[in-house]
Chains A and B, each alone.
Chain A
């Protein structure tokens, strides 16, 4: 199914929300301005533009098909009337410019309304064309194509705070690009061993620091984070800081390596913390403490005894993302059965919510859900064995300033708003 959503991203103001899907399409939603007439429809997101970002390609040299699935979208900070975003599939990153056209010139001298040339004999006077309003048209054009930078599959892109460069990471390498230059990039991290036989870990995600344009972090399949400083050297193979928590030997299993692999890493808005997601937990790391995370939250620890079946059905390889709210006080991540979880870092309270048709009637309040692990079972609880593992929420996004969240559940996008507490605390 080509319309399975594969990435969700708000822009820097939260006015626009972009989604990418497996079919290579990007759909952009725009938030309606608040209207005094209909106070309840304020802030709804409607489709703004849809375009085909990537097409399937074929690498003839390796006899490999390159999927058109959009892995990541990142917005550029807005610098003029146009909006720009980067979208990437496994191999190629593209810069798209989104412009609006709401006026068009009318009254040409030589062309008629349909654009056909007039019979010159009928032209008897000179008129100046005027701009007349028209229905809003959103035009999307590819401005740059950054191709041939990656041998392996691109898993993340991140725009630098300098607004001039961005980085793209694949399994083994990270490249730094200038937004205006497509024919070359700088390789800043390379963890490919001399002998592929010695491969022990791959890069799973990476992100620039929100304020320090020289710092970036990348996560590995072994569960570690590396903070790198581009000022230190051109090739940042040596990390400035390594964040790693020793494994708990009592939890050792066949699948220990799989569940410790970090699937997503996000800097907090403040830049002081990093959030990581592995299969069963989310962790908050303080940049100043490398030995262990400062906070660990269990997302669905009841799955720990089910790892065998989850390995068989491949669910154990699912890559969940994580998100901060605007004030860095709440973190959010997805789970199975269309559940997603939020953890309040201050109150230490957590909640499980469900993204489903029933729960998304307009103005309906989401009811907290509970997964019971045997023992006492309350009404409306879901037992672990009846969880639907095909309904997974891998991609979630939080509005940069308000309590609005976007949840991608397979091919549906849910946007929830917290009207009561629309201001961040």
Chain B
């Protein structure tokens, strides 16, 4: 089929449609949003497969230079069921802050399942973000108290809570990063490196001052406050969500700051690209993952924070749009 749009543009267009549907008269059209979500899913499949293919090609060129090997263990199958990813024989030492490169992008029943696993040789540098060659990795969190330092800074700077207790084995479970309410949960996914704050962000390797506060225990949710200000509480339903308390107020949430700075430096790709990857991490199959676990009406209050405001608002609108019912 002749198509003049690439996957990325389709995703942007679709997000815009969802965002504008919120303001249309008559309320959100469930049918239309459902159809748009299918286009998003299809575009996402293509986008991911293209990215993986590209990374694989690059990896072939730099087999030794990359501290992180991100080799697709298997080609993206059009699987109907999520494949079981074997646990990697990696040390479970929580002191070991070597990043593990292993990610399963959970696509859900009908979506692309791309298990990307790579062994993590011991000689891997601890600060993968400094590496300029692309690496596809998931940095498992060292959630222990002594996790200050580069890798952990990277973790937090990436705005992702990988506090999975240091258990580095693969899991096909995808948790949700809710950009709507800024609740950060355990993220086990394939964040493409330039979409995490790494190579282009000079400050990402510094220890995050925010780490002075005890990192959350694995699997809990953290409230995510952009900059110094506290997120508007109105309309945000905590709704008895366990662990949603997290870090309340207090010192600025450094990851956000770092991430924001990363975003400003992210000139290599259109503004939507990082947002799209975040989106990809959110989306599961079809509607799954598009539904925010917490309903929130608060818009992203600060400009330039985290992601481009428009794109973020779109995302938030998207998740809220679906949850509105």
| Interface positions of A (Cβ within 8 A of B) | 59, 62, 64-67, 69, 90, 151-153, 155, 171-172, 195-202, 204, 221, 251, 253-258, 261, 304-305, 307-309, 311-312, 314, 317
Contact = CB atoms under 8 A, between A and B. Distances in A.
Contact of B3 (A67, A253, A314): A253
Contacts of B10: 254, 308, 311
B35 A196 contact: no
26 contacts: A62-B27, A62-B324, A64-B27, A67-B26, A151-B325, A152-B30, A153-B31, A195-B291, A196-B325, A197-B290, A197-B291, A199-B30, A199-B287, A200-B34, A202-B30, A202-B34, A221-B35, A254-B10, A254-B39, A254-B46, A257-B35, A308-B3, A308-B5, A308-B10, A309-B4, A311-B10
B10 to A, nearest CB: 6
B13 interface: yes
B279 to A, nearest CB: 15
B73 interface: no
B287 A198 contact: yes
A66 B28 CA distance: 11
B34 A201 contact: yes
A56 B43 CA distance: 37
Contacts of A195: 291
B268 interface: no
B132 interface: no
Contact of B42 (A59, A155, A254, A314): A254
A155 B325 CA distance: 17
B57 interface: no
B286 interface: yes
Contacts of A66: 26-27
B26 A90 contact: yes
A197 B31 contact: no
Contacts of B248: none
B287 A200 contact: yes
B176 to A, nearest CB: 10
B1 interface: yes
B321 to A, nearest CB: 11
B159 to A, nearest CB: 23
A67 B28 CA distance: 12
B317 to A, nearest CB: 14
A314 B286 CA distance: 20
A181 to B, nearest CB: 27
Interface in B25-64: 25-27, 29-32, 34-35, 38-39, 42-43, 46
Contact of A311 (B13, B290, B325): B13
Interface string B107-130: 000000000000000000000000
A120 B248 CA distance: 85
Given A258-B38, A317-B35, A152 B3 contact: no
B81 interface: no
B2 interface: yes
Contact of B29 (A153, A200, A253): A153
B3 A254 contact: yes
Given A308-B5, A311-B39, A317 B32 contact: yes
B24 to A, nearest CB: 9
A200 B35 CA distance: 9
Nearest to A319: B31
B237 to A, nearest CB: 15
Contacts of B291: 195-197
Contacts of B286: 198-200
Report the 3 A-B pairs with minimum CB-CB distance, sorted nearest first: A257-B38, A67-B26, A64-B27
B43 A254 contact: yes
Given A65-B26, A197-B290, A202-B30, A255 B39 contact: yes
B12 to A, nearest CB: 11
A171 B31 contact: yes
B287 A152 contact: no
B289 interface: yes
Given A152-B325, A254-B42, A204 B26 contact: no
Nearest to A151: B325
A49 B137 CA distance: 69
Contacts of A67: 25-26
A353 to B, nearest CB: 29
B244 interface: no
Contacts of B31: 153, 155, 171, 202, 204, 221, 261
A307 B13 CA distance: 14
Nearest to A309: B4
Interface in B268-325: 284, 286-291, 322-325
Nearest to B323: A196
Contacts of B29: 153
A307 B25 contact: no
Q: Choose among A69, A153, A199, A307 the residue with the greatest number of B CB atoms under 10 Å from its CB.
A: A199
A18 to B, nearest CB: 22
